[in-house]
């Protein structure tokens, strides 16, 4: 009778142990992703303050620079007939106006009252002759005062940049003639991807400093920064395409409509957290997002 009785099999335990381990791994990844999202929230809040500071430099500096450029219009002069003089004046204004000297702009340029670009401060001027009011309709308001606009220069719209399509943020202020009429427009700006890189580098500097204080400089998270609006997500150069696509799939504009938003993602078998906020100083319905994963 006893010989007919079978001992309980140990086989179920062999199945349970791996399942417990797998469950712990899954829960651990979720916890890690939530931690990354929490930390990304602090990161993006800091970047939001930086965005306001960067745009504020343009808000203050551009009108001041426009006043100084009025010398180009003295005595009814036509700046379009002295392109070398225009470029020299743009260099001088950027150097002499402190806010413009530290601004994150990639160019400064002068346009005529109808919005046709005359000359920028770059050695190779691809803006000359472009109809800025057509590319950036909102910029037409710059004939009456400081204003900003978003659009895409032809090369960006065609997606010819190495990192994909881009958006351009541009600001303009009127340059007055002696009689008070607008004789030119002083403009400046940057692309969203360039600005995302600037924000990402700023975040990196802070994270490195925090790591130094903690005594572990090697323990830096994996992180990326991007600017988003209704047209898409524009990450800093070298951001993996899969990461940008994943952020684009989060509908960041809708999720930040009522305030800051966070979430988690699993990308290439790695747990990520993200946090996003609106940055109306750049433009309406525009924001910044941080994607982060702890080591």
**Each residue of 64-113: pLDDT tens digit?**
999 999 999 999 999 999 999 999 999 999 999 999 999 999 999 999 99
Domain boundary among 170, 191, 212: 191
Q: What are phi and psi of 202, to 5 degrees?
A: -65, -45
- Does residue 70 contact residue 110 with C-beta atoms inside 8 Å? no
In this predicted structure, the answer to whether residue 60 has a pLDDT above a threshold of 70 is: yes
- Does residue 254 contact residue 267 with C-beta atoms inside 8 Å? no
**Each residue of 233-284: pLDDT tens digit?**
999 999 999 999 999 999 999 999 999 999 999 998 899 999 999 999 999 9
Confidence of residue 154 (pLDDT cuts 50, 70, 90): confident
Domain count, the chain: 2
What secondary structure does DSSP assign to 72-138, as a single string?
Answer: GGGGG--GGG-HHHHHHHHHHHHHHSHHHHS---SEEEEE-TTSBEEEESSSS-S-TT-BHHHHSGG
**Each residue of 29-50: pLDDT tens digit?**
568 899 999 999 999 999 999 9
CATH number of residue 282's parent domain: 3.30.450
CA angle at 90 for the pair 71 and 59, rounded to the nearest 5°: 95
Please indicate, yes or no, if residue 9 is contained in any of the structural domains: no
Same structural domain, 184 and 211? no
Residue 258 belongs to domain spanning: 31-51+194-293
Rg, the chain, Cα only: 26
Domain boundary among 161, 191, 221: 191
**Each residue of 206-230: pLDDT tens digit?**
999 988 888 777 788 999 999 999 9
Same structural domain, 59 and 187? yes
Rounded to the nearest 5 percent, the helix, strand and coil shares of the chain are: 45, 25, 30
What pLDDT does residue 233 have?
Answer: 97
Place of tokens 């712990």: 24
What's the pTM value of the predicted model, to 2 decimals? 0.87
Beta carbons within 10 angstroms of residue 116's beta carbon: 17
What pLDDT does residue 47 have?
Answer: 98
Residues in CB range of 173: below 8 A, 6 or more apart: 62, 63, 65, 66, 142, 145, 146, 147, 185, 186, 187
- For the chain, the distance separating the N- and C-terminal CA atoms, rounded to the nearest angstrom, is 59
Sheet strands (E) in the chain:
107-111, 117-120, 147-151, 168-176, 182-191, 222-229, 232-235, 261-267, 270-278, 287-293
Please indicate, yes or no, if residue 174 is contained in any of the structural domains: yes
Domain boundary among 139, 166, 191: 191
Same structural domain, 140 and 267? no
| Residue closest to 92 by CA, chosen among 114, 113, 110 | 110
Q: What are phi and psi of 114, to 5 degrees?
A: -90, 0
Residues in CB range of 60: below 8 A, 6 or more apart: 99
How many Cα neighbours within 13 Å face the side chain of 205? 8
């Amino acid at each position: 009778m006893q010989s007919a009785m079978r001992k309980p099999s140990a086989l179920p335990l062999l199945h349970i142990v791996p399942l417990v381990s797998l469950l712990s791994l899954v829960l651990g990844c979720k916890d890690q992703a939530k931690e990354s999202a929490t930390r990304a929230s602090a990161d993006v809040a800091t970047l939001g303050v930086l965005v306001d500071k960067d745009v504020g430099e343009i808000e203050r500096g551009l009108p001041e620079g426009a006043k100084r450029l009025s010398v180009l219009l003295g005595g009814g002069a036509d700046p379009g007939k002295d392109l070398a003089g225009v470029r020299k004046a743009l260099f001088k204004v950027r150097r002499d106006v402190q806010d413009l000297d530290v601004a994150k702009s990639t160019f400064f340029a002068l346009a005529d009252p109808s919005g046709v670009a005359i000359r920028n401060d770059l050695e190779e001027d691809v803006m000359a002759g472009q109809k800025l009011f057509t590319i950036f309709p909102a910029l037409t308001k710059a004939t009456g005062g400081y204003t900003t606009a978003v659009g895409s220069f032809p090369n960006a719209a065609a997606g010819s940049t190495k990192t994909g399509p881009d958006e351009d943020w541009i600001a303009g202020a009127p340059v007055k003639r002696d009689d008070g009429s607008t004789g030119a427009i002083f403009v400046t700006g940057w692309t969203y991807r360039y600005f995302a890189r600037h924000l990402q580098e700023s975040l990196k500097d802070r994270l490195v400093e925090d790591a130094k204080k903690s005594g572990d400089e090697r323990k830096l998270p994996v992180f990326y920064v991007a600017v988003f609006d209704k047209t898409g997500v524009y990450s800093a150069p070298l951001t993996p395409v899969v990461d940008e696509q994943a952020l684009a799939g989060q509908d960041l504009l809708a999720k930040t409509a009522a305030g800051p938003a966070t979430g988690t993602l699993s990308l290439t078998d790695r747990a990520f957290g993200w946090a996003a906020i609106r940055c109306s100083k750049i433009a309406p319905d525009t924001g910044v997002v941080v994607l982060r994963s702890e080591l």
